[in-house]
């Protein structure tokens, strides 16, 4: 049993005292004292308001915080704030905070939550990021209801974002995930999501949790597990997401968590994605995308300079990853003056696929391959920002769609590179 | 007198013939050992070459930068070179064992020394190779980190990392071989010390403003609006 290895004795004892539950909400934390109290209170209010008759538990899996995060979770869970809104539980609402062993990682935290959910035989579970300060009690209903009512297995969020937020998702994760796995999940790297007990049991038992890529980018890994495992997926609109919430502080860390895990997953799922897959539309509850067109200040010159300098400095590294023709085209783009830089959709799709193939073949250290993609992503970001600076949200969406089609058209190229020598 | 002469001649001839008769079997054994040694060395070479090819050792050495070095020197691949090396070491070992059977005075000591030297030779080669591998890995890591952190002169940083590791592994390798132990250790200490001092002076004096800006950016979170990462990637 997987829970025997991941759940410690004290935590197991507490879970056994709880018995079985209908709903479970997990909060993975590590030094999140600044925001976790507010998030736990919103979760508690959501459960009391929308699921008062259900047996529920809040599980906090902590990586060993030194800023009293666990104490704040416990305090928030017994806070009487909900009495002000006349919210009373008809069943006991349990709240358990546990410290998992090992180094802090989202993977170990989510594995702990999944194993706990499996043990408590929860029908529906949600995971809320401790950084999601824009959470409202309605999020809990919106995330859990599709699982409780409609026997869906994996619920990913759709947020209202600024049009220039989540650029890595729009320029790489969504198009590539859609092209490779034929699944139109808009947020393949969700920080707030829900899943069924069936999915938790399936995933908790997988032996890939010990792999670095699954531990570091568990959110991405779970989405891919849901797609490739043919689980029923639904997207649900949660509302606005504050800028920077849940996102790693720097680009390379973000790429390791998301792009690294996406590349890594291609190895074990080759038989699935290499076959001709029928496109599977994903049902969306609410709008499929909502963008905030407000102007946003950013330093485009710095992006251009970092791209151009990065391509020049990393030439020996890029030579071992990219094909000669793609490298020449990238170098040509990098030598363009600031106003004329254009990293086209096709070139970007080819670049990403060649990086994925190089990752598969481990031509150099896999972590170095992911790091080497960062300067090229800056070039692509520059082009995307320049193209869409004055665009309406609709025009921007049509550009994203064009990029997705370029990735889909280039999928045979990925297969060719995958099986080829370089 | 003639009788005495013939008697001495016969005695000496018999002595020579007895010596030759005693030597011939030993020579035969030597030749057999050399022949068996050649077969064993050949099999070892074949096995090692197959194992290294299976383990994709050439890719590893390409990663370490050793392949490029060998290509420039018009030498075969590392797999081939290592297989040949093992073949010759094994065969020479057998030849020496065979020669020792001949019982030539003074040769035993040299043969013993040769076999005593072999582990140190292997250890030195091991240190050289993995030193090159580590130098290549860490210099690339430094290059990528410097480029992504937008530090000035990333290639200089990477080259410095590579040079320090290569010098370190060469000095450890030579120390293992017992060649110029003290000279190389002292040279390494001087080069490394000078490099660190130079960097400290360059960064502390020449790059005062750069250091200040870097530390401010790192710890005081100033100029935050200029960071491209402000556009949250996820």
Q: Are residues B47 and B93 in the same domain?
A: yes
Task: Please compute the mean of the pLDDT values over residues A241-268 and round it to a whole number.
Answer: 82
| Pick from A250, A297, A314: CB nearest B229 | A250
Judge whether residue B190 has pLDDT over 60.
Answer: yes
Render pLDDT for B22-72 as a digit per residue (tens, 0 to 9). 888 888 999 999 999 999 999 999 999 999 888 878 777 776 667 766 766
Distance of CA A121 to the CA centre of its chain: 25
What pLDDT score does A152 carry?
A: 92
Question: A218, A262, A372, A378: which to substitute to probe chain B, counting the most B Cβ within 10 Å?
Answer: A372
Query: B156 to chain A, minimum CA–CA distance in Å?
Result: 10
What pLDDT score does A30 carry?
A: 92
At B207, is the pLDDT very low, low, confident or very high (cuts 50, 70, 90)? low
Q: CA A258 to CA A189: how far, in whole Å?
A: 7
pLDDT, greater one: A162 or B67: A162
What pLDDT score does A249 carry?
A: 60
Q: CA A52 to CA A197: how far, in whole Å?
A: 20
What pLDDT score does B218 carry?
A: 65
Does B147 contact A at CB distance below 8 Å?
A: yes
Sequence-distant (6+) residues with CB within 8 A of A251 are A168, A374, A377, A378, B148, B228, B229, B233
Task: Please compute the mean of the pLDDT values over residues A47-63 and round it to a whole number.
Answer: 91
Q: Do B144 and A371 touch (CB under 8 A)?
A: yes
Q: Are residues B128 and B73 in the same domain?
A: no
Task: Please compute the mean of the pLDDT values over residues A216-224 and round it to a whole number.
Answer: 93
What pLDDT score does A86 carry?
A: 62
Q: Do B231 and A310 touch (CB under 8 A)?
A: no
Least confident of A251-260, A283-292, A366-375: A283-292
pLDDT, greater one: A225 or B125: A225
Task: Please compute the mean of the pLDDT values over residues A276-292 and round it to a whole number.
Answer: 82
At B228, is the pLDDT very low, low, confident or very high (cuts 50, 70, 90)? very low
Q: Are residues B46 and B129 in the same domain?
A: no
Nearest residue on chain A to B226, alpha-carbon basis: A299
Q: CA A371 to CA A367: how far, in whole Å?
A: 6
Judge whether residue A166 has pLDDT over 60.
Answer: yes
| Pick from A246, A248, A314: CB nearest B147 | A314
Nearest 10 degrees: Cα torsion B91, B92, B98, B102: 160
Helix locations, chain B, DSSP H: 2-54, 57-64, 66-72, 78-101, 107-148, 154-177, 181-201, 208-215
Judge whether residue A300 has pLDDT over 60.
Answer: yes
Give B15: exposed, middle or buried? Use CB within 10 Å, 0-12, 13-18, 19+. Answer: exposed
Number of alpha carbons in the 13 Å side-chain half-sphere of residue A234: 23
Residue with tokens 């539980």: A89
Sequence-distant (6+) residues with CB within 8 A of A112 are A6, A7, A11, A59, A61, A98, A100
| Pick from B137, B150, B234: CB nearest A254 | B234
What pLDDT score does B7 carry?
A: 87
Query: B109 to chain A, minimum CA–CA distance in Å?
Result: 47
Residue B228 covered by a domain = no
pLDDT-above-90 percentage for chain A: 59
What pLDDT score does B68 carry?
A: 67
Q: Do A313 and B228 touch (CB under 8 A)?
A: no
pLDDT, greater one: A81 or A355: A355
Nearest residue on chain B to A255, alpha-carbon basis: B233
Judge whether residue A73 has pLDDT over 80.
Answer: yes
Q: Cβ contacts (< 8 Å) between A306 and chain B: which residues?
A: 147, 150, 228
Q: Do A167 and B227 touch (CB under 8 A)?
A: no
CA distances from A183 to A27, A196, B198 (A): 27, 19, 56
Q: Are residues B94 and B153 in the same domain?
A: no
Question: A313, A334, A381, A422: which to substitute to probe chain B, counting the most B Cβ within 10 Å?
Answer: A313
Q: Do A374 and B226 touch (CB under 8 A)?
A: no
What pLDDT score does B20 carry?
A: 85
> Interface of chain A against chain B, CB under 8 Å?
164-169, 189, 191, 243-252, 254-255, 257-258, 296-299, 302-303, 306, 309-310, 313-314, 317, 363-365, 368, 371-372, 374-375, 378, 381, 385
Q: CA A244 to CA A247: how far, in whole Å?
A: 5
What pLDDT score does A89 carry?
A: 64
At A83, is the pLDDT very low, low, confident or very high (cuts 50, 70, 90)? low
Does B233 contact A at CB distance below 8 Å?
A: yes
What pLDDT score does A382 carry?
A: 93
Residue B133 covered by a domain = yes
What pLDDT score does A90 carry?
A: 63
Judge whether residue A394 has pLDDT over 80.
Answer: yes
Chain A, chain B: beta-carbon pairs less than 8 Å apart: 88
Q: Cβ contacts (< 8 Å) between B63 and chain A: which residues?
A: 364
What is this structure's pTM? 0.80
| Pick from B140, B146, B229: CB nearest A364 | B140
What pLDDT score does A2 carry?
A: 46
Nearest 10 degrees: Cα torsion A14, A16, A17, A22: 100
pLDDT, greater one: B103 or A25: A25
Residue B10 covered by a domain = yes
| Pick from A244, A363, A374: CB nearest B232 | A244
Cβ proximity of A113 and A127 under 8 Å: yes
Q: CA B81 to CA B91: how far, in whole Å?
A: 15
Q: Are residues B127 and B89 in the same domain?
A: no
Q: Which domains does chain A have, with CATH numbers?
A: 2-291 (3.90.550.10), 300-419 (no CATH)
At B217, is the pLDDT very low, low, confident or very high (cuts 50, 70, 90)? low
Judge whether residue A40 has pLDDT over 70.
Answer: yes
Q: Are residues B99 and B1 in the same domain?
A: yes
Q: CA B106 to CA B108: how far, in whole Å?
A: 6
Q: Are residues B205 and B137 in the same domain?
A: yes
What pLDDT score does B31 carry?
A: 92
Q: What is the ipTM of this complex?
A: 0.86
| Pick from A258, A363, A364: CB nearest B234 | A258
Judge whether residue A99 has pLDDT over 80.
Answer: yes
Q: Do A166 and B148 touch (CB under 8 A)?
A: no
Q: Do B225 and A164 touch (CB under 8 A)?
A: no
What pLDDT score does A243 carry?
A: 57
Judge whether residue A246 has pLDDT over 80.
Answer: no
Task: Please compute the mean of the pLDDT values over residues A139-146 and round it to a whole number.
Answer: 94
Q: Are residues B42 and B77 in the same domain?
A: yes
| Pick from B143, B228, B232: CB nearest A378 | B228
Distance of CA A194 to the CA centre of its chain: 12
Q: Are residues B43 and B132 in the same domain?
A: no
Query: B229 to chain A, minimum CA–CA distance in Å?
Result: 6
Q: Cβ contacts (< 8 Å) between A363 and chain B: which residues?
A: 59
Q: Do A310 and B227 touch (CB under 8 A)?
A: no
Judge whether residue A4 has pLDDT over 60.
Answer: no
Q: CA A170 to CA A400: how far, in whole Å?
A: 7
Judge whether residue B224 has pLDDT over 60.
Answer: no
Q: Cβ contacts (< 8 Å) between A248 and chain B: which residues?
A: 233-234
Helix/strand/coil (H/E/C) assignment for every residue in chain A: CHHHHHCCHHHHHHHHHHCCCCEEEEEEECCCHHHHHHHHHHHHHHHHHHCCCCCEEEEEEECCCCCCHHHHHHHHHHCCHHHHCCCCCCCCEEEEEEECCCCCCHHHHHHHHHHHHHHCCCCEEEECCCCCCCCCHHHHHHHHHHHHHHCCCEEEEEEEEECCCCHHHHHHHHHHHHHHHCECCCCCCCCCEEEEHHHHHHHHCCHHHHCHHHHHCHHHHHHHHHHHCCCCEEEEEEEECCCCCCCCCCHHHHHHHHHHHHHHHHHHCHHHHCCCCCCECCEEECCCCEEECCCCCCCHHHHHHHHHHHHHHCHHHHHHHCCHHHHHHHHHHHCCCHHHCCCCHHHHHHHHHHHHHHHHHCCCCHHHHHHHHHHHHHHHHHHHHHHHCCCCHHHHHHHHHHHHHHHHHCHHHHHHHHHCCC
Q: What is the DSSP letter of B152?
A: S
Q: Do B228 and A246 touch (CB under 8 A)?
A: no
Q: Do B148 and A371 touch (CB under 8 A)?
A: yes
Q: CA A198 to CA A196: how far, in whole Å?
A: 5
Distance of CA B48 to the CA centre of its chain: 17
Residue B110 covered by a domain = no
Q: Are residues B66 and B144 in the same domain?
A: no
Residue B109 covered by a domain = no
Q: Are residues B88 and B128 in the same domain?
A: no
Q: At what angle are helices B2-54 and B57-64 packed, to 10 degrees?
A: 80
Q: Considering its fold, how many domains does chain B have in total?
A: 2
What is the domain range of residue B198?
Answer: 120-216
Q: Cβ contacts (< 8 Å) between A372 and chain B: which residues?
A: 144
Q: Are residues B100 and B5 in the same domain?
A: yes
């Amino acid at each position: 049993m997987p829970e025997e290895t991941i759940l410690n004795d004290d935590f197991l004892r507490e879970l056994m005292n709880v018995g079985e539950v209908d709903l479970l909400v997990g909060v993975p934390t590590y030094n999140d004292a600044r925001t976790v109290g507010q998030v736990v209170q919103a979760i508690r209010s959501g459960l009391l308001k929308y699921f008062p008759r259900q047996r529920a538990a809040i599980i906090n899996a902590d990586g060993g915080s030194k800023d009293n995060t666990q104490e704040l979770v416990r305090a928030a869970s017994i806070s009487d704030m909900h009495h002000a809104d006349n919210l009373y539980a008809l069943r006991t609402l349990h709240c358990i905070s546990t410290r998992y062993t090992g180094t802090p990682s989202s993977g170990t935290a989510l594995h702990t939550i999944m194993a706990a959910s499996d043990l408590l035989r929860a029908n529906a579970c949600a995971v809320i990021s401790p950084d999601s300060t824009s959470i409202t009690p309605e999020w809990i209903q919106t995330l859990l209801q599709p699982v409780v009512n409609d026997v869906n297995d994996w619920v990913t969020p759709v947020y209202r974002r600024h049009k220039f937020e989540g650029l890595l998702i729009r320029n790489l994760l969504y198009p590539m995930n859609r092209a490779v796995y034929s699944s139109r999940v808009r947020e393949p790297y969700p920080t707030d999501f829900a899943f069924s007990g069936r999915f938790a049991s399936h995933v908790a038992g997988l032996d890939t949790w010990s792999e670095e890529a699954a531990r570091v980018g568990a959110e991405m890994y779970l989405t891919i597990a849901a797609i490739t495992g043919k689980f029923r997926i639904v997207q649900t609109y949660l509302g606005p997401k504050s800028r920077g919430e849940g996102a790693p502080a720097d680009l390379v860390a973000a790429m390791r968590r998301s792009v690294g895990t996406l590349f890594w997953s291609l190895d074990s799922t080759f038989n699935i994605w290499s076959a001709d897959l029928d496109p599977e539309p994903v049902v969306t509850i609410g709008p499929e995308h909502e963008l905030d067109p407000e102007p946003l200040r950013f330093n485009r010159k710095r992006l251009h300079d970092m791209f151009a300098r990065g391509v020049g400095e990393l030439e020996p590294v890029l030579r071992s990853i990219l094909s000669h023709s793609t490298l020449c085209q990238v170098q040509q783009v990098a030598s363009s003056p600031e106003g004329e830089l254009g990293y086209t959709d096709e070139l970007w799709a080819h670049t990403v696929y060649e990086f994925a193939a190089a990752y598969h073949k481990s031509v150099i250290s896999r972590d170095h391959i992911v790091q080497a993609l960062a300067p090229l992503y800056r070039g692509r970001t520059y082009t995307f920002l320049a193209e869409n600076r004055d665009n309406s949200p609709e025009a921007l969406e049509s550009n994203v769609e064009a990029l997705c089609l370029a990735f889909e058209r280039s999928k045979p190229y990925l297969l060719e590179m995958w099986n080829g020598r370089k | 007198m003639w009788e005495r002469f013939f008697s001495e001649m016969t005695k000496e001839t018999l002595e020579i013939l007895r010596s030759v008769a005693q030597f011939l079997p030993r020579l035969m054994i030597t030749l057999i050992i050399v022949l068996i040694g050649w077969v064993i060395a050949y099999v070892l070479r074949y096995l090692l070459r197959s194992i290294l090819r299976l383990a994709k050792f050439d890719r590893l050495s390409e990663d370490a930068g050793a392949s490029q070095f060998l290509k420039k020197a018009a030498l075969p691949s590392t797999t081939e070179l290592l297989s040949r090396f093992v073949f010759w070491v094994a065969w020479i070992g057998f030849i020496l064992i065979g020669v020792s059977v001949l019982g030539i005075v003074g040769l035993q000591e040299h043969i013993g020394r040769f076999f005593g030297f072999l582990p140190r030779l292997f250890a030195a080669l091991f240190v050289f190779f993995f030193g090159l591998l580590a130098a290549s890995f860490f210099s690339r890591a430094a290059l990528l980190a410097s480029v992504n952190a937008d530090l000035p002169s990333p290639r200089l940083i990477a080259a410095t990392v590579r040079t320090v590791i290569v010098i370190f592994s060469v000095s450890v390798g030579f120390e293992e071989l017992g060649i110029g132990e003290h000279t190389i250790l002292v040279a390494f200490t001087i080069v490394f010390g000078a490099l660190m001092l130079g960097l400290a002076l360059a960064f502390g004096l020449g790059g005062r403003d750069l250091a200040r800006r870097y530390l401010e950016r790192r710890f005081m979170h100033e100029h935050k609006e200029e960071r491209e990462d402000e556009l949250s990637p996820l």
